[in-house]
A and B are shown apart, each in its own frame.
Chain A
Amino acid sequence: MKDQLPILLLTLPFLAAALLLPLCAASTWINRLIVLAVFITGWIWGWQAWVPAQAQEVWHYHLGGWAAPWGLEIVLTPFTFFFAGWIWLIGMATWFYALPHWMLRHSESVKEALFNVCLFLLIGASLGLLWFRDLLALYLDLEILLAAMTGLLVVGQSKNWREGFDLFFRGNLGASVFLLALFLLYISTGTLNLDDLLSQVFIAKNGTVVLTAGILMAISFACYFVFPLPVFYDRLLIQTPAFLTGFLSSVMTRSVAQLFFVLLFFALNLPGFSAPLWLILLEYVVLVVFLSHLFLGFRQKDLLRSLAMLSVGQLGYLFAGFLLGNKSALTGALLESLNQTLTVAGLFYITGVLHPSPGPMPFSRLSGLARQRPWTGLAFIVFIASIVGIPPMGGSLGKWYLLQGAWEKGNWTVAGLLIAASLVSLFYFVKLVILLYEHPDDTSPVSFSPAMTVPFLALALGVLVLGVFHQTIIQHFIEPALPKAFQDIPMPNVPFLGQQVE
C-alpha cells in the first residue's frame, strides 16, 4: 500500500467530498465525525508517506503504471509534501473555526455539510496543484479549485451569490486563457507533461512560444493573485467570515503561486532565453504594484481591508524571487511562500475570533489586545513581525535570501525595493505594537473561548519553527525543489546568525 500513498493522499479529500455529499441530510454529528476521521486519516497516511518521500527526494508516481508523457504523473518533492502538510493543517483549522459559525445556525445542517464538501474539494485541488505534472490535469484542477472556492463563499455566506458569480466568472476567463496557453504549447511541442515539455522546449528553442505561453499563464493566474484585494472584492471581503477569507487567500493563492513557480522554472525555462526590454519593465511594474500594497495595507483604517492588502502585497516577495531567478532568490521565495501561508491564515483567524460576525472591523479594536489576551497579542505580533522580516521569524530568513539573491545578481533596484518595503513595514509594525499594548478601552472587552486560540498559536509556532530551523528546512525541503542547475551550488552565509548553511 505504501507505493500507492501519493494517489491515496491526493484522492482522500475528493473521496471525503464524495462521501459527504450524499450524507448532507444526515445528522450533523455524523458529518462532523466523518470530517474529523478524514483529517486524522490524512495525517496518518502523510506520516507513512513521509519516510519514502524523504528517501527518494523526488517521488515520481505514475497513475495505473502508465509512464509520462502518456500517463498521468504525480511528483512529490519534500517541499511540496511539507507544503501539503501546511495546507492540511490550515484546512483543519478552518473547519474548526467554522464550527461555531454553524452552531449558531442549527437549521442549516445541509449547508454545513455542503461547506465541508467544498472545503475538501478545495484542499484536494490545492494538493493537485502542488503534485500534478500534467498541464491538462492542472487545468481541470484549477477549475475544481475555482468551483470549490465559489461554493465555499456562497454556502458560507448567502449574501455572496453575486460576488461568487463574479469570482467564478473572472476565474473561468483566466482558466480559459490557461487553456489557450496549453494549446499553444501543445501544437509547438506535442506534449503536455511538464518534464517532457521542458526537454521539447529545449530542443525546439522557440523563445516566442515560451514567452507567449508564459504571459498567457501569468494573465490566467491574475484572478487568484489579486484575491481578496478590496478594489476587486470589497463587498466579498466585508460579507465573508474572516476565517474563510484567510483560508482562501492563504492556501489558494499560495498554491497557485507555487504552480506558477513550477511552470516558470520547470516547464518554460529555456536556457539562453533573454526577456525583451518591455517584459522586464512590465515585471518591475508588477513588482512595485504588489509591494506597494504592503504600504497601502498598513495605512488602512479597517483591519480586514488591511489584511487583504498585506496578503496580496506579500506576493511581491515571491515575484521578486522569480524575477531574480538565482538560487538564493528562489530559496528565499520558497521559504517566503511557506511562511506567508501561515501568516496570512493566522492573521485572518485572529481577526475572525475578535470579530466573529462579518463586517468592517476598525483597527481600534486591537487597542490593548496584548494586555487583555497576551497570547493572542503575541501571536499577532509574531505574524506581523514575520511580514516585516524581524528575526527569528520565518519571514525574516526568506527576505534575507531574497536580498542575498539581489546582491549576487547586482540587481540594486530589487534590493532597494525589498529594503524599502521592509522599512516601511517596520515603521507601521512599531505603531501596531504600541496600539496592542495600549491600556484597553473598557467599553469593548475582548471575549472568546481559550480553545479558539489553539489553531492560530500553532500557526505562530510554525512561523517561529520556520525561522529557527531554516537550515534544516532549506537543506531537506527547499533545495531538492529547486531546478537541478542550482542544486550543487553552495548556499550563501547568513551573517546575522553567524552560521553556514549547507
Chain B
Amino acid sequence: MTGNSLLFCQSVLLVLGLTTLYFAWVSTHLMKKIGNWVLFQLDIVLLWSTALSRYHGQINPFCLSILVVILLASLGLLSLFLMLALGVRKRFGSLETMRGLGGKA
C-alpha cells in the first residue's frame, strides 16, 4: 500500500471511529452504548493494524504484539461491560440509562 492510500485509509477509519464515539456518547440504551464502544475499539484496532507492515513490507512483531494485547484487553473490557449492564437490568429492570447528552438525570 502506498503512503497516500495508507493515509487515506487511516483518515477514513479515524472519521468512522469518531462517529461511533459520538453515537456511543449520545445513546441512552446501555446495549447501544456498548455496541458503539465495541465499534470504536474495533476501529482503533484496525488503525493499529495499518501500522503492521510499515517497515519494508515486513510484519512488525512489536506492532503485532500490541495488537494482540489490545484485542485481549478489549475482550476483557467487553465482558466487564456486559456484567455491568446485566447488573443494571437486574436491579432496575431496564437497560435505559435515563441520562442524555448533558449527563442530567
The chain A residues found within 8 Å of chain B, CB to CB, are 70, 136, 140, 143, 147, 150, 154, 158-159, 161-162, 164-166, 168-169, 172-173, 176-177, 179-180, 183, 186-187, 190, 192, 231-232, 234-235
- The reply to whether A165 and B70 form a contact with Cβ atoms under 8 Å apart is no
CB<8 Å pairs between A and B, sample of 12: A140-B69, A161-B88, A161-B90, A161-B92, A162-B92, A165-B88, A168-B84, A169-B81, A176-B21, A179-B70, A180-B44, A231-B103
- The reply to whether B47 and A136 form a contact with Cβ atoms under 8 Å apart is no
Closest CB of chain B to A58's CB: distance in Å? 25
- The reply to whether A173 and B91 form a contact with Cβ atoms under 8 Å apart is no
- The reply to whether B69 and A154 form a contact with Cβ atoms under 8 Å apart is no
- The reply to whether B44 and A179 form a contact with Cβ atoms under 8 Å apart is yes
Closest CB of chain A to B13's CB: distance in Å? 10
**For residues 50 through 81 of chain B, which have their beta carbon under 8 Å from a beta carbon of chain A?**
51, 54, 62-63, 66, 69-70, 73, 77, 80-81
Provide the residues of chain B in CB contact with A136, threshold 8 Å. Answer: 66, 69
Cα of A235 to Cα of B92 in the assembled complex, Å: 15
- The reply to whether B17 and A187 form a contact with Cβ atoms under 8 Å apart is no
Number of A-B residue pairs having CB atoms within 8 Å of each other in the complex:
79
Residue among B17, B73, B98 facing the most chain A CB atoms (10 A cut-off): B73
- The reply to whether B91 and A161 form a contact with Cβ atoms under 8 Å apart is yes
- The reply to whether B91 and A158 form a contact with Cβ atoms under 8 Å apart is yes
- The residue from A147, A162, A186 contacting B88, defined by CB atoms under 8 A apart: A162
- The reply to whether A162 and B41 form a contact with Cβ atoms under 8 Å apart is no
Closest residue to A165 on the B side, CB-wise? B84
**For residues 15 through 61 of chain B, which have their beta carbon under 8 Å from a beta carbon of chain A?**
17, 21, 24-25, 30, 33, 37, 40-41, 44, 47-48, 51, 54
Provide the residues of chain A in CB contact with B21, threshold 8 Å. Answer: 173, 176-177
Cα of A173 to Cα of B41 in the assembled complex, Å: 9
Main secondary structure of the interface of B (DSSP, over half): helix
Provide the residues of chain B in CB contact with A159, threshold 8 Å. Answer: 91
- The residue from B62, B66, B70, B80 contacting A147, defined by CB atoms under 8 A apart: B80
Closest CB of chain A to B28's CB: distance in Å? 11
- The reply to whether A186 and B77 form a contact with Cβ atoms under 8 Å apart is no
**Given A166-B99, A172-B81, A179-B44; 17 other pairs, CB 8 A cutoff:** A143-B73, A147-B80, A161-B84, A161-B90, A165-B30, A165-B85, A166-B97, A169-B33, A172-B37, A172-B77, A173-B21, A173-B25, A176-B37, A180-B44, A183-B48, A186-B63, A231-B103
Cα of A235 to Cα of B51 in the assembled complex, Å: 43
Closest CB of chain A to B71's CB: distance in Å? 12
B87 at the interface (CB under 8 A from A): yes
Closest residue to A235 on the B side, CB-wise? B105
Cα of A85 to Cα of B39 in the assembled complex, Å: 40
Provide the residues of chain B in CB contact with A176, threshold 8 Å. Answer: 21, 37, 40-41, 44
Closest CB of chain B to A165's CB: distance in Å? 4
Closest CB of chain A to B51's CB: distance in Å? 5
- The reply to whether A154 and B41 form a contact with Cβ atoms under 8 Å apart is no
- The reply to whether B51 and A183 form a contact with Cβ atoms under 8 Å apart is yes
Cα of A395 to Cα of B42 in the assembled complex, Å: 44
Closest residue to A69 on the B side, CB-wise? B62
Closest residue to A70 on the B side, CB-wise? B62
Residue among B25, B84, B91, B105 facing the most chain A CB atoms (10 A cut-off): B84
Given A162-B88, A164-B84 in contact, is the A173-B40 Cβ separation under 8 Å? yes
Closest residue to B45 on the A side, CB-wise? A179
Provide the residues of chain B in CB contact with A166, threshold 8 Å. Answer: 97, 99
- The reply to whether A186 and B99 form a contact with Cβ atoms under 8 Å apart is no
Provide the residues of chain A in CB contact with B90, threshold 8 Å. Answer: 161
Given A162-B88, A164-B84, A166-B97 in contact, is the A187-B51 Cβ separation under 8 Å? yes
Closest residue to B33 on the A side, CB-wise? A169
Cα of A186 to Cα of B69 in the assembled complex, Å: 15
Residue among A154, A166, A176, A177 facing the most chain B CB atoms (10 A cut-off): A176
Provide the residues of chain A in CB contact with B66, threshold 8 Å. Answer: 136, 186, 192
Cα of A190 to Cα of B37 in the assembled complex, Å: 27
Closest CB of chain B to A186's CB: distance in Å? 6
Cα of A168 to Cα of B99 in the assembled complex, Å: 15
Closest CB of chain B to A220's CB: distance in Å? 12
Closest CB of chain B to A59's CB: distance in Å? 25
Closest residue to A164 on the B side, CB-wise? B84
Provide the residues of chain A in CB contact with B70, threshold 8 Å. Answer: 179
- The reply to whether A140 and B40 form a contact with Cβ atoms under 8 Å apart is no
Cα of A166 to Cα of B62 in the assembled complex, Å: 34
Closest CB of chain B to A324's CB: distance in Å? 31
Provide the residues of chain A in CB contact with B105, threshold 8 Å. Answer: 234-235
- The reply to whether B85 and A183 form a contact with Cβ atoms under 8 Å apart is no
Cα of A190 to Cα of B66 in the assembled complex, Å: 12
Provide the residues of chain A in CB contact with B51, threshold 8 Å. Answer: 183, 186-187
Provide the residues of chain A in CB contact with B40, threshold 8 Å. Answer: 173, 176
- The residue from A158, A168, A183, A232 contacting B81, defined by CB atoms under 8 A apart: A168
Provide the residues of chain A in CB contact with B37, threshold 8 Å. Answer: 169, 172-173, 176
Provide the residues of chain B in CB contact with A179, threshold 8 Å. Answer: 44, 70
Cα of A183 to Cα of B37 in the assembled complex, Å: 18
- The reply to whether B77 and A143 form a contact with Cβ atoms under 8 Å apart is yes
Closest CB of chain A to B99's CB: distance in Å? 7
Closest residue to B91 on the A side, CB-wise? A161
- The reply to whether A140 and B73 form a contact with Cβ atoms under 8 Å apart is yes
- The reply to whether B84 and A150 form a contact with Cβ atoms under 8 Å apart is yes
Provide the residues of chain B in CB contact with A187, threshold 8 Å. Answer: 51, 54
